[in-house]
Chain A
């Protein structure tokens, strides 16, 4: 066991990723170029999001030698107007794997900033060129680094470091890597296009190797509110998670070493005097109120062990078994494990259990989980069949399982706090979709927050119809945490839900000009594969998608029937306007009259009738 662990530790994270680069999406020149683009653009957007800066991201891909056939070396540069990285952090941030600032429970595009380092690693492997990082945090001085990664040591090697005066803040990263733009180009263009749809507050520019420029200006001038870091939600938490949370909630059993004994003696005023067991207890009773918690715990232990300080220094406490009221210790003298019973009536027992058993159930719930107040906690305890003052530490394994089951089943918890999530918001989404698709009809919905396995998520959805949308829909645009998902459509939960829908029920027929945009925000997206391209069909997510789509479909159906009616009315009005004058003309001659009948009244009347209908 221990030898395997040692071996594993000997591989540096850099080396591990170097050996497993396929996992991170760097399997071939086509995929690698696309993944590298994604990682850098997403990092740039994340950096701006976190500081509330409207992103202005400029990306360019240039061939080192345009004449060479693909795959060939390309220089990929991504520049942003974000906060930049402090000079001293740059080498570590870009020259080591697993260095990042994105740990914590909140929504972000990437988890740990790993991907960018992977891209740098891949570039270095394929072209043996350093990464060029330019960073300015104050908009005055810019640090410029040329870095290589020492793969085996997982350490940056600084080739060059200069500074220069600038006028703009931000970060620019430039790597040289082997890629195949001929094959990856259309995906990269799609990626840039679709990214700009879900980040309507960002300006994104892309200069491609063929000299084409793609520019998407920001459509809205307001950032979505930034996510905050929060506690977990009660729904979908498992036994293992509860165990880990409990460890945090308990006071540790004090380690009774010489220093500890010294402290107790000092606090009892017995630093010099050596009293017998009963004397010590008497002294402690008198001074109880002034004693600190660790000292009280030691005294309590001594009360059951019936030992003085000499004896105490010859044992080690092994376990405090609260349910069975037993105290186990190791006796160095006899070299064996011994136990004593604890009297539950004793005041020292309460002191011990209060420490060892940790918080009461209600305190545990209100303090460790989000959105649970005292009254909900008491209601839950009743529901789960626990006493509200039940100590967490006193729970048996079976009780923990029962607690975990009940936490999932109890329905009166408030839905998860979505403040750790950053959905785009209905207004921005609608504005973005309108600007992008120029539809006749557009509706969006943001579903209330829900959770799967303890991770909150929000489904945002939009539907657009008609206008400049090309026919042959529904065209589905999938997003997760503001990342467009372009590959592996077929196995995605969104596609499953869309394909299950019978569109004719919503008056959508034939090859409709019709777009669906879905955005799943979560602290953790349940991707099916490491490639982050398709979302697994988790029941909770599928349900939210389904409800969202149903809501939007009904809106669409209402629009479609209104549109149908309006078209009909217009058609009819046109028909009357066209034919009544002809009828008038013909019957005038037939009837042998010279003046046409006054049919204009009829035309006006028809328009009034139509107005009433619509």
Chain B
């Protein structure tokens, strides 16, 4: 039974890789054909301008509209970025074929070997997003990953699929510092777990506290440190834990507008990644710290800054913040104009957050 399942997954992974390789080949062949016919090659990219980003209620995430931009090598002002994208496709093709992975920073440096100059990493990052949009696939599919800073801990057995580690198994509660979430973990097979819930927490400090306080055991949970805004790989893993292992996901953040949005991005994605699907956990729940908790738990606070307040107003016009807890908490933040960090609970003892607050919130999550 298990082996069958594993086989299935392996097949799926292979298919995914083949899809990417096919897509890249199609793209290359089209450009090749144009050139060979004495025509300037061109292709269209879904427009990622603000006006083309719309909220899809059904999918519960932002998606790109229908407008697309033509990128033509005939246009001398686009020639450079056209070439950069072709190089990236070429580079991604090699990565995928050879099953090697690379970081965003790697891409920036690798380009220099091919006389493709990127002004800085943000330019190369931008081209990577362009290729995602052209292929409608996340960069992880073509083996490009961000620098990792998120980690995972808890009773979860996995089996690696990356070259050199195929078939190797691992339990993610063996190392108390947790395991970095990178390409090998996101592509690993999730074999089994005793956990009943996934707790995503914004900060490394609290993650360590949760491990120390054995939150994984006490609450039968897998703890994930998102390291601020959750990286794509972490969101991918969260989605897989939810979809494949059937685990509910709750999110615990600082009590401010940025924390609220970290939770929102896990739930419904970011406008930046509107060209991608499969990065969201629509059922994820934000359990705190809420604006209303600040009063309720008498947390020490700090005043909101100008930019905090501006961010509140920005989010008020976001369609996802028009109802429910999202709208309510945002309004309260704006009203009290104060914020509280997760560490604020330490005022009542270092374990107060795990002993008192977390159990209440876990209970509450069931009803959300």
Contacts and interface: CB of A to CB of B under 8 A. Distances in A.
B311 interface: no
A583 B38 contact: no
Given A575-B79, A576-B79, A579-B83, A587 B35 contact: yes
Contacts of B32: 584, 587-588, 590-591, 593, 597
Interface string A567-590: 000011001100110111111111
A605 interface: yes
Interface in B53-90: 73, 76, 79-80, 82-83, 86-87, 89-90
Interface string B113-124: 011100000000
Contact of A584 (B27, B35, B80, B93): B35
Per DSSP, chain B at the interface is helix
A538 B66 CA distance: 68
B29 A591 contact: yes
Interface residues of B, number: 28
Nearest to B35: A597
Contacts of B38: 598, 601-602, 605
Interface of B: 24-25, 27-29, 31-33, 35-36, 38-41, 73, 76, 79-80, 82-83, 86-87, 89-90, 93, 114-116
A583 B115 contact: no
Interface string A17-30: 00000000000000
A333 interface: no
Kindly list the 6 A-B residue pairs having the minimum CB-CB distance in the complex, ordered from nearest: A590-B28, A597-B36, A597-B35, A586-B90, A591-B28, A591-B29
Nearest to A595: B36
Interface in A84-141: none
Contacts of A576: 76, 79
Given A580-B73, A597-B35, A587 B41 contact: yes
A583 B43 CA distance: 13
Nearest to B83: A579
A16 interface: no
B205 to A, nearest CB: 45
Q: Which of A572, A588, A590, A601 has the most CB of B within 10 A?
A: A590
B25 A575 contact: no
A602 B40 contact: yes
B35 A589 contact: no
B35 to A, nearest CB: 4
Contacts of A592: 25, 28-29
Contacts of A587: 28-29, 31-32, 35, 41, 86, 90
28 contacts: A572-B76, A575-B76, A575-B79, A576-B79, A582-B114, A582-B116, A583-B35, A583-B41, A584-B35, A585-B90, A586-B86, A586-B89, A586-B90, A587-B28, A587-B35, A587-B90, A589-B93, A590-B29, A590-B31, A590-B32, A590-B89, A591-B25, A591-B32, A597-B33, A597-B36, A598-B35, A599-B36, A605-B38
Nearest to B114: A582
A586 B25 CA distance: 11
Given A579-B82, A587-B90, 5 more contacts: A583-B86, A587-B41, A589-B93, A592-B25, A597-B36
A590 B93 contact: yes
Nearest to B38: A601
Given A588-B32, A590-B28, A590-B89, A583 B76 contact: no
A576 B73 CA distance: 9
Contacts of A588: 28, 32
B102 to A, nearest CB: 16
A537 B115 CA distance: 60
A584 B25 CA distance: 14
Contacts of A601: 38
Contact of A575 (B80, B87, B90, B114): B80
Given A587-B35, A590-B93, A582 B29 contact: no
Contacts of B79: 575-576, 579
Contacts of A605: 38
A583 to B, nearest CB: 5
B27 to A, nearest CB: 7
A590 B38 CA distance: 19
Contacts of B28: 586-592
A579 B73 contact: yes
A586 B31 CA distance: 10
A526 to B, nearest CB: 54
A580 B79 CA distance: 8
B130 to A, nearest CB: 15
Contacts of A590: 24-25, 27-29, 31-32, 86, 89-90, 93
Contacts of A580: 35, 73
A290 B102 CA distance: 125
Nearest to B76: A572
A471 to B, nearest CB: 27
Contacts of B27: 590
Contacts of A575: 76, 79-80
B39 to A, nearest CB: 8
A426 to B, nearest CB: 40
A454 B36 CA distance: 76
A375 B285 CA distance: 106
Contact of B87 (A582, A593, A597): A582
Contacts of B82: 579, 583
A159 to B, nearest CB: 80
A157 B41 CA distance: 94
Interface in A276-301: none
Contacts of B86: 582-583, 586-587, 590
Interface in A592-610: 592-593, 597-599, 601-602, 605
Contacts of B33: 597
Contacts of B80: 575, 579
B115 A582 contact: yes
A590 B86 CA distance: 9
Which among B28, B87, B115 has the greatest number of chain A C-beta atoms within 10 A? B28
Nearest to A588: B32
Contacts of A591: 25, 28-29, 31-32
